[in-house]
Amino acid sequence: MLLAIDVGNTSTVLGVFEGDRLTARFRIHTDRMRMESEYRVLLKNLFALEDLPPPRAALISSVVPPVEREMARAIEGLFGVRARVVDLEATGLEVLIDNPREAGMDRLVNAVGALAYPSPTGRYIVVDFGTATTFDLVEAPNRYLGGAIAIGPQTAADALASRTAKLPRIDLIPPERAVGRNTLEALRSGLVLGYAALVEGMVRRFKEEAGEALVLATGGFASVLKPLCPSFDLVDEDLTLRGLLRIHKALG
């Protein structure tokens, strides 16, 4: 049994695999101030909630170093398992950007997950909706070619609400029309339909530069945008966790 953990800037996702099957999935808030003892309590309660046995292995992908350290110590203290933190070498990718160490580990793990899917051209575009929205170009068998970074839709919505006097916080659901007739409709149009247009435009530009590719979307907002983004070939909200599973298998 593998405990796979994706530590992002806003959320941390924990997945438990039995073989290739994802048997449990938890999403918690990423808290840079949480200590090892607190993670022990949290992990113990989550495993008890689903009546899960202790994991035999643990693998962490992280863009928040303080969290990965405390989480790894908690896993070892609670389960007696050494948690490995994924680094560039562990991904097995050939990272063809100016400074490979700059690439976010979540993006590289997504690339590994994407390569499990068959692509007629051997190329992949991965769109990940998180604190940032990232676009990554991947090529079989193991080449990461680069990408683009934009602000995430929820981050944009939160920024509007916090930095304006009269704009409310909203749920990111598609509006009935592009021309909003009130503030709520106008916000949903800009933040949901606007992001769909951004995604479609970026995917088109990637394909103009690199050629046809299989487009995979991941992250919580991917399922919301799928009906609005005909460029999406597949939506896999657990792509990062599946990438961690592939890395774990490769590491033996």
Contact between residue 215 and residue 233 where contact means Cβ atoms under 8 Å apart: yes
CA neighbor of 186 nearest in space, from 170, 202, 162, 163: 170
Q: Which of 6, 31, 106, 238 is catalytic?
A: 106
Tell me the C-alpha to C-alpha distance, in Å, between residue 57 and each of 2, 26, 39, 47, 71: 5, 17, 17, 14, 14
User: What is residue 43's three-state secondary structure?
Assistant: helix
Is 106 considered catalytic here?
A: yes
Cα angle, residue 31 at apex, residues 30 and 37 outer, rounded to 5°:
115
Measured between its terminal Cα atoms, the distance across the chain in Å is 13
Output helix, strand, coil percentages for the chain, rounded to the nearest 5. Answer: 40, 25, 35
Pairing of strands 21-29, 83-85: unpaired
Q: Is the four-CA dihedral 191, 189, 171, 45 of positive or negative sign? A: negative
* CA–CA gap between residue 80 and residue 45 (Å, rounded): 17
Could you list the active site residues? 106
